[in-house]
């Protein structure tokens, strides 16, 4: 059974930092693109960041560029998201996604794969 488990969410003040982790089990994703999405209250789920299989390509939503950093450790079958300079509008449930498609010819658009985690809550207080 394939599982993606996110951890690391919490409550922080504006300007604070968090590091989210997503650990995969049940199969290896070392050859797969991995990504983070988020869903704010009352909003649609939105793309946050993606990293390709060897970590050589990373792409971010405009709203998080320069503040968030995605990384991965294939030996641990894990992907991470470092969140810095957090703002109240970053408040959301953050989800890990695996094995989606990257469109290199179209601004590195990422199309979510079939594997999702259960999410971890990030709350930023003002």
What is the tens place of the pLDDT at every residue in 35-74? 999 999 999 999 999 999 999 999 999 999 999 999 999 9
Average per-residue pLDDT for the chain:
96
Q: What is the mean pLDDT of residues 27-35?
A: 95
Give per-residue burial for 85-119: e unless 16+ CB within 10 Å, then b: ebeeebbbbbbbbbbbebeeeeeeebebbebebeb
- The two structure tokens encoding residue 14: 């504006």
Q: Which pLDDT band holds residue 107 (cuts at 50, 70, 90)?
A: confident
Give per-residue burial for 18-52: e unless 16+ CB within 10 Å, then b: bebbbbbeeeebeebbbbbbbeeeeeebebbbbbb
């Amino acid at each position: 059974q394939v599982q993606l488990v996110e951890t690391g969410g919490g409550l922080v003040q504006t300007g604070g930092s968090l590091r989210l982790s997503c650990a995969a089990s049940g199969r290896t994703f070392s050859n797969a693109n991995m990504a983070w999405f988020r869903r704010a209250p009352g909003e649609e789920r939105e793309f946050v960041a993606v990293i390709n299989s060897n970590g050589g390509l990373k792409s971010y939503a405009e709203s998080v560029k320069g503040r968030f950093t995605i990384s991965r450790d294939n030996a641990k079958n894990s992907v991470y998201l470092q969140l810095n300079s957090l703002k109240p509008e970053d408040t959301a449930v953050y989800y890990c996604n695996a094995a989606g498609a990257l469109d290199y010819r179209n601004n590195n658009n990422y199309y979510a794969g079939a594997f999702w985690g259960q999410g971890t809550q990030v709350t930023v207080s003002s």
